[in-house]
Amino acid sequence: MLFSNWRSYFIGSGNGWAYRLDALADYWLLYRDHMAAWHAAFPGAIYDLNYEDLVNDPEAETRRLFAHLGLEWTPEVLAFHRVERVVRTASVAQVRQPLYRSSIGGWRRYARHMAPVIERLAAAGALEEWQAAERG
């Protein structure tokens, strides 16, 4: 998530933080803290979906997600890329493709540039947690 945000160009004002690795590390730490608070406030209600798990077994992972939400799963869930609708996000090109593995661990190719992130997360005692979240 952190690396993906860094690589994306976000149109509009107020997105400058997305281009600074140290700021992205701070936002990731805030995200982690917020999610911990939500998990504590609503035990068992929050579903954490890992991208690598989704890509490796989309049917099983989407079935688990739908079951958690109390929704009926249908095979059309796996054909999301065939839906023709307007998309107004940075992922507009991606939603027209099936899930793909090429972005898993993509940050490793830029590891030498990720020093501000690694330093910030290590200082916060969160480096291992981030690497696990990124399947690092």
User: Could you tell me the CA-to-CA distances from 71 to 9, 16, 24, 68 in Å, in that order?
Assistant: 34, 37, 34, 8
Residues 6-29 have pLDDT tens digits of: 556 565 666 666 667 788 888 889
Query: What is the signed CA dihedral for 59, 71, 97, 133, rounded to 10 degrees?
Result: -70
Using one digit for the tens of pLDDT, what is the confidence trace for 27-56? Answer: 889 988 999 999 999 999 999 988 888 888
Q: How far is the first Cα of the chain from the last one, in angstroms, to the nearest whole number?
A: 12
Go through 72-107 and write b for each residue having 16 or more CB atoms within 10 A of its CB, e for each that does not. Answer: eeeeeeeeeeeeeeeeeeeeeeeeeeeeeeeeeeeb
Give the span between the Cα atoms of 90 and 105, in whole angstroms: 20
Other beta carbons within 10 Å of 116: 14
Record the pTM: 0.63
* pLDDT for residue 136 is more than 50: no
Q: How is residue 94 annotated by DSSP?
A: G
